[in-house]
Structure 1
Amino acid sequence: MLKRQIILDTETTGINPKEGHRIIEIGCVELINRRFTGNNFHVYINPEREIEAEAIAVHGITNERLAHEPKFRDIAQSFFDYIQGAELVIHNAAFDVGFIDHEFALLKPALPPVAQYCGILDTLKLARDLHPGQKNNLDALCRRYDINNSHRTLHGALLDAEILADVYLLMTGGQVSLNLAADEQAEQQDQQGPLLIQRSGKLRVIKADNSETAAHEVRLDLVQKKGGSCLWRS
């Protein structure tokens, strides 16, 4: 059974939708069975209100930049259709979901809250469970999992969704970065040999230091003394 996940991020005019703040950018990256499909969703939105200076300092998006972009009501149905039925993977999900629910409630007719038609996985909670007592913002997680985010000088919804996708996959066991077209080749590969998978980025190679090598040799000595077979010395 195919599992569809949408890695999602938003940028907004401010912090609190209850104070009238709106979404100005949505970025989504689609994964199916933990594989990137390339079927992403990205849109800038005219919020029909001023963006707070503090928010502009974070994402760099100005009202002038958005003056000719569509209103949320213009993209709402296509966005709803895109995410419907998927599991949304979001860092600090309460923030983004709160804004999306607020935008949907403003529509006439209104659309239902996200949780009614999507699963929600909060990677901030996941990171805190995995790394208690440590910083778990996106930059900290990139450092922890050796993900290059040097191109992230400002926040951006699609860029942050792409980075979060890498973080999420590494936090949950790793992933091969390939198009779903590879699945269509699977049956042929069963006959032709193993499928070579192109992975994104470089794998880190961690070599044993001298003390670890010495401890390994002591363990091998013990194995041989007990009559065991040491493949490492055969």
Structure 2
Amino acid sequence: MREIIFDTETTGFDPASGDRMVEIGCIELINRVASGRTFHAYYNPQRDMPPAAEAVHGLSTNFLKDKPLFAAGVEPLLAFLEDSPLVAHNARFDFGFLNHELKLCGRPPVSMDRMIDTVAIARTLHPGAKHSLDALCTRYGIDRSHRVKHGALLDAELLAQLYIELTGGRQIGLGLAREEAKESGGAEHAAMTQVRPVRPARVFAASAAELERHGAFVATLDKPLWLEEAQTG
């Protein structure tokens, strides 16, 4: 089973008011295990970065001014996403910005049927608790000490670990792993289907010398039980 964990950074909270997506980071999971494939891109929002947003993710207007427009980089992104389920934290926010950018460049939106929201999962598992990414990483012992500011790929990496924990940990789906990895055609299947060397059968038969020593030992036994059973049987 292939899933994509993703996160976005933006100029604000509302694409309808002119806010734009400036960064996206994606992690590929195969059977709840990171495959090592990622996608990461920055985009020029064609507007200034508000100071409040820059304080969150550290992406300035000057840094983004020479980055490509979303429309110029949409093909590699869509090729990476394919038709896989998309997992995000507070997913409606990220889906909203992604679909807004797709609309601006004349592309169809990503279906909301593909959305998996880890906030909704966390609320079911831990009602009444804090459900921020930071709080949940603390709850599940996920190291985020290297996270000074928000970053789309870094947050996606943390979310991938959290999603695995929220959905049962790393032991989930072991019974199906082989067949699903085979269908995915990835390196995981190759690792599972390695040809192991055939070892010759071990010989456990006693040698003539061992049989002779055994017979000599049995002869020294005084009234062994098996002889008594044979005589009374």
Output the TM-score relative to the length of structure 2.
0.75
* Counterpart code for 1:16: D
Which of 166, 175, 196 is the equivalent residue of 2:170?
Answer: 175
- SS of 1:37's equivalent? strand
1:209 matched to which residue of 2?
none
1:1-234 matches, within 5 Å, as 3-107=1-105, 110-115=106-111, 119-175=114-170, 181-188=187-194
2:210 matched to which residue of 1?
none
Note the residue ranges of structure 1 that are not aligned, 5 or more in a row: 193-234
* Counterpart code for 1:172: T
* Consecutive aligned runs of 4 or more in structure 1 exceeding 3 Å deviation: 188-192
Q: Identity of paired residues, percent?
A: 47
Distance 1:37 1:20, change over 3 A: same
Work out the CA distance in 2 between the residues paired with 1:53 and 1:94. 24
Deviation at 1:189, TM superposition (A): 6.9
Work out the CA distance in 1 between the residues paired with 2:139 and 2:96. 28
* Counterpart code for 2:120: K
- Aligned pair count? 186
Deviations 1:61-103 (A, max 9, x none): 1011111111111111221222121100000011010001111
Deviation at 1:190, TM superposition (A): 7.2
Note the residue ranges of structure 2 that are not aligned, 5 or more in a row: 172-180, 199-233
Question: For the pair shown, which has the larger CA radius of gyration, 1 or 2?
Answer: 2
- SS of 1:76's equivalent? helix
Work out the CA distance in 2 between the residues paired with 1:134 and 1:189. 48
Work out the CA distance in 1 between the residues paired with 2:123 and 2:55. 27
Q: Which moved more, 1:78-87 or 1:17-26?
A: 78-87
Distance 1:191 1:5, change over 3 A: farther
Deviations 1:177-205 (A, max 9, x none): xx95343122337778xxxxxxxxxxxxx
Deviation at 1:22, TM superposition (A): 0.4
* Counterpart code for 1:125: A
Deviation at 1:136, TM superposition (A): 0.6
- SS of 1:188's equivalent? coil
Work out the CA distance in 2 between the residues paired with 1:79 and 1:66. 18
